[in-house]
Amino acid sequence: MFNDGDLQRQEKGFKAQKGQIIGASFINAPIQRNSREENAKIKAGNIPQRFKENLNVQRQKDCDARWAKKNDQKRYVYKDHIVIDNVDKLIRDYKVTSAEVHDAQFFLNY
């Protein structure tokens, strides 16, 4: 969607030339009550056995968000990344990731 808008802006003569603003903010996710062993499996990219045995439990678990610390407070969050054109202040792109992803990782092409 944003790529289409970027192409349309370029056709009209708007072109990013003086830099980009890259920012990120946290989006709270429901806190999970998993055991330490389950959390270790989730971090490793595996699904805990209890989730596989009971599909209702698996449906209610958010295994993609991560814990992050901001202002000495730990929060279970996603991270919303955004790139804005410095001159026109138009949103060029966005991504939603788990909290451990660095702000600039996806936007190296801008």
pLDDT in tens, 55-109: 898 888 888 888 888 889 988 899 988 888 777 777 878 888 888 877 767 665 5
Tokens of 43: 């971090």
- The confidence score (pLDDT) of residue 78 equals 92
Together in a domain, 71 and 110: yes
Together in a domain, 46 and 83: no
Residue span of the structural domain in which 11 resides? 1-29+65-110
Give the number of domains in the chain. Answer: 2
Together in a domain, 23 and 77: yes
| HSE-up (13 A, CA, CB side) for residue 25 | 5
Q: What is the pTM of this model?
A: 0.64
